[in-house]
Structure 1
């Protein structure tokens, strides 16, 4: 296959995986709606930084060892679940706060971490990210390719991830959508909080 067409096919596959429901998407969507496009773009940069680590592991083939180490995977899953539960608690506390508290700090759950760190930690603690990337990258790394090919694959993961997430954060600033969020922020925060808690429970009960 022509290298350009092969990269295009890989980019399309990555885009489908990127916008599937998961911790990164839920957290970024809520951040962009509540804190604006700049915070969303900064979080997208944090997620892309996490993808740098995951892509390096996947391209280097270390994900196979990761998959074969159930103890390591389990430890990371528990750490990820704990972090997601903490985020869920922040959102649910915001959703069920008194009106006075909401007026003082509208639409923003208490957090000492900035958007970049929240995005980075959320992505790094997602054990399924490296497995997904390994499974997606593997078919595109087989066969005869030039020496620069693995770097192109890894670079595409990182650049496309950060760019599309930042674009998503910008698209969420569409005024009718933001107006709807501002009117129903507490309910939406509650839904996002429950979704993150559900993902945490899924990690805890996964074999």
Structure 2
């Protein structure tokens, strides 16, 4: 029963704003459901790393020099994505149907977007801790990790399916510049937030 509640919270959490949500949303709206699925699979692959950390060493890795470097890289990646999505010259950077980015490119960018979101590990640690404290077996930790990955991947595919809905597609076609600008600003906000977190970690490490 607790595991079902855990999976339900994971699914509901995907409705909250974040870099993964922004990437899946934009990929689906701009390039179609297939691109959204590839983005979901890329994010799901990245979640493997977060789940592994959450179910083993937890968030302690982010208080190491490796964690500081990861936060810095993460902020730079989010700011790059924001720059990449931002509309230019009054036109949305959505290519014609024949020039949709290859699936491998969408998958790669989604994977990097998720890996460069260290706050995801903190979330999984906080959510999984009550369950893992009750059962310390390796097999149960593995089960929770698999549950995180599967629930996350399925959830993002369902999210992409929502944005396949025709009225939403029509809205995006009419207001692509505004939507892309909003998603770009959201990603920039995440990047700046991570820069702030990076600065705080540096100060704490030398205090």
| TM-score grouping bracket, smaller chain normalisation | 0.7 to 0.9
**TM-score between the two structures when normalised by the length of structure 2:** 0.86
Instruction: Tell me, yes or no, if structure 1 residue 96 matches structure 2 residue 98.
Output: no
1-side partners of 2:59 and 2:183: how far apart? Answer: 32
1-side partners of 2:130 and 2:170: how far apart? Answer: 44
Q: Which residue among 45, 48, 54 is the counterpart of 1:49?
A: 45
Instruction: Tell me, yes or no, if structure 1 residue 66 matches structure 2 residue 70.
Output: no
For the aligned residues, what is the CA RMSD? Answer: 2.5
User: Structure 2 matches for 1:122-133, cutoff 5 A?
Assistant: 122-133=113-124
CA contact (8 A) 1:41 1:169 kept: yes
Q: Which residue among 15, 20, 34 is the counterpart of 1:19?
A: 15
Q: How many residues align?
A: 197
Cα deviation code 1:146-186 (max 9, x no counterpart): 65322221111111100110111011011011000001111
* Residue 111 (structure 1) shift: 7.1
Larger mean Cα displacement after TM superposition, 74-83 or 9-18:
9-18
1-side partners of 2:15 and 2:93: how far apart? Answer: 30
2-side partners of 1:143 and 1:57: how far apart? Answer: 18
Instruction: Summarize the Cα distance change of 1:78–1:55 in structure 2 as closer, same or farther, 3 Å threshold.
Output: same
Cα deviation code 1:71-99 (max 9, x no counterpart): 3322111111111111111111xx12355
CA contact (8 A) 1:58 1:131 kept: yes
CA contact (8 A) 1:67 1:131 kept: no
2-side partners of 1:128 and 1:13: how far apart? Answer: 16
* Residue 29 (structure 1) shift: 0.6
Instruction: Summarize the Cα distance change of 1:144–1:193 in structure 2 as closer, same or farther, 3 Å threshold.
Output: closer
Partner of 2:110: 119
CA contact (8 A) 1:46 1:117 kept: yes
Instruction: Summarize the Cα distance change of 1:6–1:161 in structure 2 as closer, same or farther, 3 Å threshold.
Output: same
* Residue 119 (structure 1) shift: 0.9
1-side partners of 2:93 and 2:24: how far apart? Answer: 21
2-side partners of 1:39 and 1:88: how far apart? Answer: 18
Partner of 1:78: 72
Instruction: Summarize the Cα distance change of 1:130–1:146 in structure 2 as closer, same or farther, 3 Å threshold.
Output: closer
Instruction: Summarize the Cα distance change of 1:177–1:77 in structure 2 as closer, same or farther, 3 Å threshold.
Output: same
Partner of 1:138: 129
2-side partners of 1:139 and 1:187: how far apart? Answer: 41
1-side partners of 2:5 and 2:96: how far apart? Answer: 42
Partner of 2:188: 197
